């Protein structure tokens, strides 16, 4: 009886006895005129009621996810000597930015079933209406390839620093071509591939200053914005004409 209870406690321990306490270096990112990307620090610790079990080791996965939008992926084909867009696949939603940082390669520290449940790896965040067919797979792979090349999808295994199985930290680089909106930060603790705790917080990315004024005007008062654009062009063109006349060059 006693042995059985102890076994139960040991099994339950990792799931209930480990809790994330974490912080993010900033709660918001302002996109100003000279915005050239940002680096955010995600840090934290695992709080425990009892000493950590020796095995399996605790691992950490941290994800940052930007606002999702529907996408169209098109493929060019050689038709009559030129390259035309032929095939296309519609993606119901995919994040505009997604970073996965972890202590080890995600495949080694996360079971596929847990991935499917929490949508942690990049393919899990790309939402197609139905399960992708064999024909659609290359399109989805291309999306990942293109976004990884542009820095919008980031895979960073071994980038989370874990100290004494308790303290962890990582830096996530946000690229310059950011989309406005709430960015979701998730921290997962795993043991033996299973998620033992998860915590979610949010970073608000917003345009600020002139960027914000211009953007809102363009979206909310497009006619006034268009007139202003024209006025600016006319004044600049006419002004230069007058200026050069005065200078008599």
Q: What residues make contact with another protein under the rule CB under 8 A?
A: 31-37, 69-78, 81-85, 88, 90, 138-139, 142-143, 145-147, 176-179, 207, 210-212, 214-215, 218-219, 222-223, 225-230, 232-234, 236-241, 244, 249
Q: How far is the CB of 165 from another protein (least distance, A)?
A: 39
Q: How far is the CB of 95 from another protein (least distance, A)?
A: 12
Closest distance of CB 173 from another protein, Å: 13
| Closer by beta carbon to another protein, 131 or else 249 | 249
Min. distance of Cβ 164 from another protein in angstroms? 39
CB of 51 vs another protein, minimal distance in Å: 48
Q: Which is nearer to another protein, 88 or 202 (CB)?
A: 88
Tell me whether residue 12 or residue 234 sits nearer to another protein (CB atom).
234
Residue number with CB closer to another protein (27 or 229): 229
Q: Give CA–CA dist 104/99, Å, rounded.
A: 14
Shorter beta-carbon distance to another protein: residue 16 or 150: 150
Kindly report the length of the chain: 249
User: Of 24 and 29, which CB lies nearer to another protein in the complex structure?
Assistant: 29
| Cα 222 to Cα 224: distance, rounded to the nearest angstrom | 6
Number of C-alpha atoms within 13 angstroms, CB side, residue 49? 8
Q: Closest approach of Cβ 139 to another protein, in Å?
A: 6
């Amino acid at each position: 009886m006693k042995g059985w209870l102890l076994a139960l406690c040991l099994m339950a321990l990792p799931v209930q006895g480990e809790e994330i306490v974490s912080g993010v270096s900033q709660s918001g990112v302002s996109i100003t005129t000279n915005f050239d990307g940002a680096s955010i620090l995600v840090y934290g610790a695992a709080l425990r009621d009892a000493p950590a079990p020796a095995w399996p080791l605790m691992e950490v996965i941290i994800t940052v996810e930007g606002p999702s939008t529907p996408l169209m992926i098109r493929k060019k084909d050689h038709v009559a000597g030129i390259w035309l867009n032929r095939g296309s696949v519609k993606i119901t939603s995919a994040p505009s930015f997604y970073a996965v940082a972890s202590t080890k390669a995600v495949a080694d520290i996360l079971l596929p079933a847990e991935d499917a449940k929490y949508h942690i790896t990049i393919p899990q965040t790309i939402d197609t209406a139905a399960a992708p067919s064999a024909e659609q797979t290359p399109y989805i792979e291309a999306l990942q390839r293109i976004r990884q090349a542009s820095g919008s999808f980031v895979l960073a295994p071994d980038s989370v620093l874990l100290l004494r199985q308790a303290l962890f930290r990582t830096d996530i680089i946000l690229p310059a071509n950011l989309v406005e909106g709430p960015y979701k930060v998730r921290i997962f603790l795993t043991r033996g591939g299973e998620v033992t705790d998860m915590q979610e917080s949010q970073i608000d990315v917003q345009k600020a200053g002139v960027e914000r004024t211009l953007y809102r005007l363009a979206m909310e008062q497009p006619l006034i914005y268009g007139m202003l654009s024209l006025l600016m062009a006319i004044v600049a063109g006419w002004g230069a004409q007058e200026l050069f006349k005065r200078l008599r060059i």
